Amino acid sequence: MAKKTVLIVYAHQSPGSFNSAALDVAVETLQKQGCKVMVSDLYAMNFKATATAEDFKGDLKNPDLFRYGEEGMLAWKEGRLSDDIVAEQRKVEEADLIIFQFPLYWFSFPAIMKGWIDRVFTSGFAFSLEKLYGNGVFKDKKAMLSFSTGGMESMFLPDGLNGDLNVILWPLQNCVLHFCGFQVLAPQTFWAPAHSPPEVRTSMLKAWRERLQEIWTENTLHFAPIDLFDLSPQGQFRLRPEVKEEYSHRRYGITTAHHIGRPLPPNNQTKPVSDSR
């Protein structure tokens, strides 16, 4: 196997945390495989989480009506992004795999990690209207979420208090990672480590280590292929009528969000699905 490069975007304040232990396991295991491992420790870097005009050097195109996305794309094209954004973008360009390691905050990324995404995945650099999803900029790269939860696994089942984890993860995995073209690996979920005995935490880290040893051969998650949609102005980026007709006779919909009135495909955002009929 050719030497691989991995970027771990890490967000936890404490070096004594379970997330820190998961980071250490990943770095050690991947380096033993001969991988180059880069870590963006966001809290240690004091990474700026807010997307503001300070992210761009030089004059704004429209200072009277500031639009971050528009200004960001122009600054990227003209080489006027702030130095910290450029440094992170260079890491993204080099990486074959990006792992996001974090505690789940309010069913999403911590603010500092969301800020990294807001600022680093600049329009033009990470996506464009012509390069989205299956045709995305990063279609030759892989990405995955590795996170801890505060609640036990049963709370994230379809009949659990928090609801189906597949639905919770959709905006993170599809609307961020897959949107930019990444091939998304199944998430690594550490269930309630803060409320687990030491032997359970040790077992979770052991399973993570074992998974990382085979990470390059894993199948990716399934998302609705872009060619199922009518991308013409007339089609308004909606599913083609013949696709909707076909799936009306199947047991499940296409994906977690594109269920088209059918039952949600089981585990669509947590396990690779080969057949959703």
How many CA atoms within 13 Å lie on the side-chain side of 124? 14
Name the band, by pLDDT with cuts 50, 70 and 90, for residue 123. Answer: very high
Percent of the residues in the chain that have a pLDDT greater than 70, as a whole number: 98
CA–CA separation, 136 and 52 (whole Å): 25
**265 CB contacts (<8 Å, ≥6 apart)?**
222, 252, 253, 254, 255, 256, 259, 273, 276
Strand, helix or coil for residue 147:
strand
- Name the H helices within the chain: 18-32, 42-45, 68-78, 83-94, 111-120, 165-172, 198-212, 241-247
Residue 8 belongs to what H/E stretch? strand 5-10
Q: Is residue 276's pLDDT more than 60? A: no
- Shortest CA distance to 257 belongs to which of 192, 171, 186, 190? 171
pTM summary value:
0.95
From the list 184, 157, 159, the residue with the least C-alpha distance to 170 is: 184
At 87-110, the pLDDT tens digits run 999 999 999 999 999 999 999 999
* Residue 1: band (very low, low, confident or very high) from pLDDT cuts 50, 70, 90: low
Q: What is the CA radius of gyration of the chain?
A: 20
Contact (Cβ atoms closer than 8 angstroms) between residue 96 and residue 2: no
User: What domains sit in the chain, N to C, each tagged with a CATH number?
Assistant: 5-220 (3.40.50.360), 222-277 (no CATH)
Tell me the angle at which helices 18-32 and 198-212 cross, rounded to the nearest 10 degrees. Answer: 30
pLDDT per position as a tens digit, 42-70:
999 999 999 999 999 999 999 999 999 99
pLDDT tops 50 at residue 73: yes
Compute the average pLDDT of residues 225-229: 94
First to last CA, the chain: 35
The Cα 70–Cα 241 span in angstroms is 33
**Average pLDDT in the 127-134 region?**
93
Average pLDDT score, the chain: 95
